Amino acid sequence: MHCLKRLIASVLIASTALMGLPITASAAMVGTEEALSPASGVERDKVSAFLLREDVRAALQARGVNPEAAAERVQALSNEEVAQLAQQIDQAPAAGVDVLGFFLVLFVVLLITDALGMTKVFPFTRTMR
């Protein structure tokens, strides 16, 4: 327990000392076209790449939409519409990520409670008591 306290204190001292370091920033001129267009080529590429995924193509075909026609329609969208679509893609949950995260958190919690001696789930842990 003494080693854990010493480790935590060392990390806190190092992080407190590093907080005083200056953070550098850089500035550059922004052109009018860049300032006025909210959607860049990156967002358009993100939406196009999303439409190229096999699961998305299968879902489009199941709904009677030709994936090639959908890709052509993305190229015809305005910058604002592409930005909105890219934002919706970013906010959509990825398949299986929530379940994996849940099991990872559950494993860590059970591992910690095993190490503290509150439970005995894993045979490879030893209690700290």
How far, in Å, CA of 59 to CA of 65, rounded?
A: 9
Q: Model pTM?
A: 0.43
| CA neighbor of 87 nearest in space, from 118, 42, 55 | 42
How far, in Å, CA of 11 to CA of 17, rounded?
A: 10
Residues 22-38 have pLDDT tens digits of 777 777 887 776 666 65
pLDDT at 89: 78
| C-beta separation of 47 from 76 below 8 A | no
pLDDT at 96: 45
Rounded to an integer, what is the distance from CA 45 to the centroid of its chain? 18
Residues 67-102 have pLDDT tens digits of 787 777 777 777 777 777 888 777 766 654 455 666
Residues 110-123 have pLDDT tens digits of 777 777 777 777 67
Look-up of token digits 């196009």 = 48
Torsional sign, CA 118, 121, 125, 126: positive
